[in-house]
Amino acid sequence: MIVAIDGPAGCGKSTIARMLSQNLGFLYVNSGNIYRAISLWAVEHGISPEQSSKIIEEARKLDLRYQPDGSLTMNGRKLDKELRSSEVDAVVSQISAIPEIREIVNMIVHESAKGRDAVAEGRDITTVVFPNAEVKFYLDASVEERARRRLNEHVSNQNADEIIKNIQMRDKIDKSKPVGALKIAEDAIYLDTSGLTIEQVYAKVYSKILYTREEHGQ
Ligand code: DC
């Protein structure tokens, strides 16, 4: 069974997807992290996002895979915090907009989830990557709520106004990509998580999945 989740930056989808994968015993696939890994490779090799043919050529050779413990490795190296560095943040939107890079990432996601139960999340998972997923969610939250959550994480040195501007900019980029833009799939369950705790969102999502599993006799 594939559980597909899309939503804008900061809507809480990674937290929910991780909790689901742990409780259901499903593989967790964070497609944003695969775009981040390719971006990290470019940063570490001094290649700018404008050098798209070089990035495409090298990305095809990278061995990016999910390990049984759920971690993402690149040529055998386990990736973690470095995926969220400011250098990666600065180039990942541009690199994830390259159509050939999107094909590579989609292939890695498909390979990882082949023949397995998985929870996959990103921006185009419900629309492009797994259009036939058994259950689809679009998680949303207001810009203000997402900024508040980001402030509470205390990981950014930006103030509230800067965080809001940054979220608005990311939303615009995500929604206007020529390929793989963030959209609400017609058959996705739309959930506005503003004002809800993670536990409340989780309870809603989990009950929908149990219901779908019963329907499918799984
Ligand atoms: O979810 P995130 O912020 O870690 O994603 C990193 C970047 O990758 C962000 O610019 C959005 C982009 N992305 C995408 O274009 N398609 C996806 N399926 C997932 C992420």
Q: What is the pLDDT of residues 106-126, one digit of tens each?
A: 999 999 999 999 999 999 999
- The DSSP result for 154-179, as a single string, is T---S-HHHHHHHHHHHHHHHHT-SS
Residue 217 within a domain: no
Which atom of ligand 1 is least distant from the CA of 83? 4
- pLDDT digit string (tens) for 156-175? 778 889 999 989 999 999 99
> What does pLDDT average to over the chain?
94
Whole domain around residue 201: which residue ranges? 2-209
Residue 216 within a domain: no
CA of 8 to the centre of ligand 1 (A): 9
CA of 126 to the centre of ligand 1 (A): 14
Distance of alpha carbon 2 from alpha carbon 132, whole angstroms: 9
State percent of the chain over pLDDT 70: 100
49 lines ligand 1 (CB under 6 A): no
Hey, is 10 helix, strand or coil? coil
31 lines ligand 1 (CB under 6 A): yes
User: Poorest-confidence range of 16-30, 59-73, 115-129?
Assistant: 59-73
Distance of alpha carbon 6 from alpha carbon 187, whole angstroms: 12
User: Looking at the predicted structure, is the pLDDT value of residue 49 above 90?
Assistant: yes
Which atom of ligand 1 is least distant from the CA of 96? 15
- pLDDT digit string (tens) for 66-110? 887 788 999 999 999 999 998 999 999 999 999 999 999 999 999
Residue 89 within a domain: yes
CATH of the domain at 200: 3.40.50.300
CA of 31 to the centre of ligand 1 (A): 7
Residue 215 within a domain: no
User: Looking at the predicted structure, is the pLDDT value of residue 218 above 70?
Assistant: no
Residue 214 within a domain: no
- Global pTM? 0.95
Q: How many domains does the chain have?
A: 1
92 lines ligand 1 (CB under 6 A): yes
Residue 218 within a domain: no
Q: Which two tokens stand for residue 81?
A: 């915090």
Residue 126 within a domain: yes
